[in-house]
């Protein structure tokens, strides 16, 4: 079970407490994790990233979107090394952009724009 308790929604909070108190079997062990809700990247952020900077960089370099996104994620967030059949490989330390929060994705977009300007001399319009 997974849900978000919005600020001011006291009824839902009471229902969540009642669920834990009344609905979970007393015959089993349960793990309950409560953490602050942090929204994932927005659809608008994702649409802008794919339609503007990623497309412009791919058009400029000739790489496809998957290749370039993986490269940019690795350069921005670092690389992790792994081995497969005795061959050392690298992949971005962070997964795809869908795992980023809105704040992290905003930072990543700013990083990509700065990287494109300094590395490729490619000026990409910022989101509106």
Q: How many domains does the chain have?
A: 1
- For each of the chain's 128 residues, which pLDDT tens digit applies? 777 888 888 898 888 888 888 888 889 888 888 888 888 888 999 999 999 999 999 999 999 999 999 999 999 999 999 999 999 999 999 988 999 999 999 999 999 999 999 999 999 999 98
The parent domain of residue 76 ranges over 43-119
Is there a domain that residue 52 lies in?
yes
Q: Which two tokens stand for residue 123?
A: 């000026």
Return d(Cα 68, Cα 61) in angstroms, integer: 9
Prediction pTM value: 0.74
Beta strands in 18-121 (DSSP E): 79-84, 87-92
* 5 domain-assigned: no
Q: Which residues of 88-118 are buried (b: 16+ CB within 10 A; e: fewer)?
A: eeeebebeebeebeeebbeebbeebbebbee
CA–CA distance, 88 with 51 (Å, rounded to integer): 33
Has residue 9 been placed in a domain? no
């Amino acid at each position: 079970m997974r849900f978000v308790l919005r600020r001011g929604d006291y009824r839902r909070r009471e229902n969540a407490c009642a669920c834990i108190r009344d609905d979970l079997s007393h015959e089993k062990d349960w793990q309950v994790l409560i953490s602050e809700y942090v929204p994932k990247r927005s659809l608008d952020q994702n649409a802008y990233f794919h339609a503007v900077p990623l497309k412009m960089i791919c058009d400029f370099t000739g790489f496809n979107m998957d290749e370039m996104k993986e490269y940019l994620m690795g350069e921005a967030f670092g690389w992790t090394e792994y081995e497969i059949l005795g061959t050392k490989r690298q992949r971005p330390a962070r997964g795809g952009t869908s795992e980023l929060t809105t704040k992290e994705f905003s930072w990543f977009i700013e990083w990509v724009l700065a990287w494109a300007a300094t590395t490729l001399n490619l000026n990409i319009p910022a989101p509106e």
